[in-house]
Structure 1
Amino acid sequence: MGLGTRLWCHVENFCKYMPIVLNTVLVFSITAEVSYLVIVEAPLEADQKKTEWSTIWKAMHLFAQYFMLGNITWNAWLFVNTNPSIRGVFFGEEAMGQGWRYCYACETHTPPRCSHCFDCNVCVLRRDHHCVFFGQCVGFQNFRFFFCCLLFMWAGLLYAVVMNAEVFIVILKEGVTLHSIMLLMVPWIMLVSGQVTAQAFAFAFIADTCVVGFLLVAGFLFFHVALMLRGQTTREWHSSRRPYSLGTVHNIRECLGTRWYLCWLCPLISSPPPGDGIHFLVTGSLEPVRP
């Protein structure tokens, strides 16, 4: 193998894990910034800062923050380490009915809602989409972990936005200046031009990241909530037909498992998805409706 080929392989592997690294750095940076706000810059009134209520207030906020962080990291770890593909799955010799297809890449027949992922190079049971942030497909076995991770990321970013907003309100009470506005709007320019310190830049940059990240994650989360309630995957959302929809509660149960009402609290709560990812109850025709 030549030098150029080896370098390209190293670059390819580096780029493969880059989204995971960036996502991890952002999550822990936001956590550190919010912890600093709670412990040092807690927006309490002056007469409350040294009272017992101040200590309780900070403890409650830190517990909520690290509870969300623990759920994000734990669900992400379980998501990455749960294999959603057809590897090791025995389909049996039973008749292959409506919805089965032949995958020429995997050289096997695949059940309904299963499709090939060219990034993972394998077919995935009830495939939803390929998550670039974790380099893993979202499918039948790991949808619960993906959804809970997304849910707590949204909640954590909302919490961070609220905490930063409280600090902004305190700053605004002291007066609004062009310098403070520019710091929040274009922190990079302010840093390069030497108008702010590195600490102020980091604070403003993370605060802006919280707002942008919250909006993006909120859109992605509510999109998947809508799909879950409709009994569809991302690959099926464009269709007006919903042949796998069993009703709101049953649709949630199909995605989040038998203990869907508790599983979001902690990844340790067992909530296996009903069924085997191969056979699905059908409430309508799988074939496209001809005009």
Structure 2
Amino acid sequence: MASLGSRVFCKVEKLCHHLPVFLNTFLVFSITGEVSYLVVVEAPLDEEQKKAEWSSRWKVVHLLAQYFMLWNICWNALLFVRTSPSIKGVFLGAEGMGQGWRFCYTCEAHTPPRCSHCYDCRVCVLRRDHHCVFFDQCVGFHNYRYFLCCLLFMWAGLLYATLMNAEVFIVILKEGVTVHSVLLLLIPWIMLISGQVTARAFAFAFIADTCVVGFLLVSAFFFFHVVLLFRGQTTREWYSSRRPYSLGPVGNLRHTLGLRWYVCWLSPLIPSPLPGDGINFQVTGSLQPNQ
């Protein structure tokens, strides 16, 4: 029984690890589908505008824009997950150890500066930033570009979806700022359970709410990492107020996004080799935390 219980627990734990990935994927494709429906069928609501302003040409432009963002989100996410930032298969060159090197008793290896152990991934990660629960993968030296670009297009896509859903809010608020309209905007699932709205209205209200909340959360996370990028810091170094590896805005961009930092964000398929190896870093400041 203990063995069966352990196997069940392991399977449940694995499922819980992958649940955020499934949820994130479901929301991304749901929002894209809903916005596509708005572009093709609903928008704009006025019949005269449909003939005069919302032409087929503009529909094609909108669809191309949103599927370009969706393609970048999915491809960057795939490359982020498939690119390992860990020390596995990396020759660390322990004979050249210097200041900042530590010994990891879990991995039983000497690790370079900015490298730390992740207990979720069960391995040390080069230039570890944090463990991303939404992708069940660590953000490190080799996959930071894909992580940041995925955030960029998620932010742009959610901004676009929020603007496109503005008409949904307008339709809901046409009856005025009533208890019914406010509840439909804030907690549409309660209105669905009570039978006061149709499934179609619930779906639109739920997606619209998700776009707004998602946009606010992704905005905070994305701009926080943009600040870290220009400061040449990881999240762990931000907590300790250290900036010993900052090479200036352009230098930090090159060492994080690669030699083609100015164009690689347009597509994950654009090669942009990183100038470093994730082991040795140029020190430009004190390695001691600021007091």
Asked if these proteins are the same fold (TM beyond 0.5), I'd say yes
Question: What residue in structure 2 maps to residue 223 of structure 1?
Answer: 224
Is the Cα contact below 8 Å between 1:140 and 1:273 reproduced in 2? no
Question: What residue in structure 2 maps to residue 138 of structure 1?
Answer: 139
Does structure 1 residue 176 correspond to structure 2 residue 176? Answer: yes
Question: What residue in structure 2 maps to residue 38 of structure 1?
Answer: 39
TM-fit CA distance, 1:205: 0.7
CA distance in 2: counterparts of 1:145 and 1:215, whole angstroms: 21
CA distance in 1: counterparts of 2:289 and 2:159, whole angstroms: 41
Gaps of 5+ in 1: none
Question: What residue in structure 2 maps to residue 77 of structure 1?
Answer: 78
Is the Cα contact below 8 Å between 1:43 and 1:170 reproduced in 2? no
CA distance in 2: counterparts of 1:150 and 1:89, whole angstroms: 27
Question: What residue in structure 2 maps to residue 102 of structure 1?
Answer: 103
String of CA shifts for 1:184-229, please: whole Å, max 9, x gaps. 1221111011001111111101110110000000000000001111
1:193 is matched by which residue type in structure 2?
Answer: S
Question: What residue in structure 2 maps to residue 267 of structure 1?
Answer: 268
1:210 is matched by which residue type in structure 2?
Answer: C
CA distance in 2: counterparts of 1:60 and 1:164, whole angstroms: 17
Question: What residue in structure 2 maps to residue 13 of structure 1?
Answer: 14
Deviates more, 1:59-68 or 1:4-13: 4-13
Question: What residue in structure 1 maps to residue 162 of structure 2?
Answer: 161
CA distance in 2: counterparts of 1:47 and 1:97, whole angstroms: 72
Is the Cα contact below 8 Å between 1:43 and 1:167 reproduced in 2? no
Question: What residue in structure 2 maps to residue 23 of structure 1?
Answer: 24
Question: What residue in structure 2 maps to residue 124 of structure 1?
Answer: 125
TM-score when scaled to structure 1? 0.94
CA distance in 2: counterparts of 1:187 and 1:93, whole angstroms: 58
Does structure 1 residue 211 correspond to structure 2 residue 212? Answer: yes
TM-fit CA distance, 1:51: 4.9
Q: 1:175 to 1:285 in 2, by over 3 A?
A: same
String of CA shifts for 1:130-183, please: whole Å, max 9, x gaps. 0001110000000000000011001000001000113433665x5426333331
Q: More helix per residue: 1 or 2?
A: 2
Is the Cα contact below 8 Å between 2:241 and 2:289 reproduced in 1? no
Question: What residue in structure 2 maps to residue 283 of structure 1?
Answer: 284
Deviates more, 1:76-85 or 1:9-18: 9-18
Is the Cα contact below 8 Å between 2:185 and 2:205 reproduced in 1? yes
Deviates more, 1:274-283 or 1:47-56: 47-56
Is the Cα contact below 8 Å between 1:115 and 1:123 reproduced in 2? yes
Q: 1:183 to 1:53 in 2, by over 3 A?
A: closer
What is the alpha-carbon root mean square deviation over aligned residues? Answer: 1.7
CA distance in 1: counterparts of 2:102 and 2:177, whole angstroms: 63
The count of residues paired between Structure 1 and Structure 2 equals 289
SS at match of 2:131: strand
Is the Cα contact below 8 Å between 1:252 and 1:260 reproduced in 2? yes
CA distance in 1: counterparts of 2:88 and 2:145, whole angstroms: 20
Question: What residue in structure 1 maps to residue 249 of structure 2?
Answer: 248
SS at match of 1:219: helix
CA distance in 2: counterparts of 1:119 and 1:176, whole angstroms: 49
Q: 1:254 to 1:264 in 2, by over 3 A?
A: same
Gaps of 5+ in 2: none
Identity %: 73
SS at match of 2:117: strand
TM-fit CA distance, 1:254: 1.2
TM-score when scaled to structure 2? 0.94
Does structure 1 residue 201 correspond to structure 2 residue 202? Answer: yes
SS at match of 1:191: helix
String of CA shifts for 1:234-291, please: whole Å, max 9, x gaps. 00002333110010111111111111111110110001221100000111121346x6
CA distance in 1: counterparts of 2:212 and 2:233, whole angstroms: 29
CA distance in 1: counterparts of 2:9 and 2:51, whole angstroms: 57
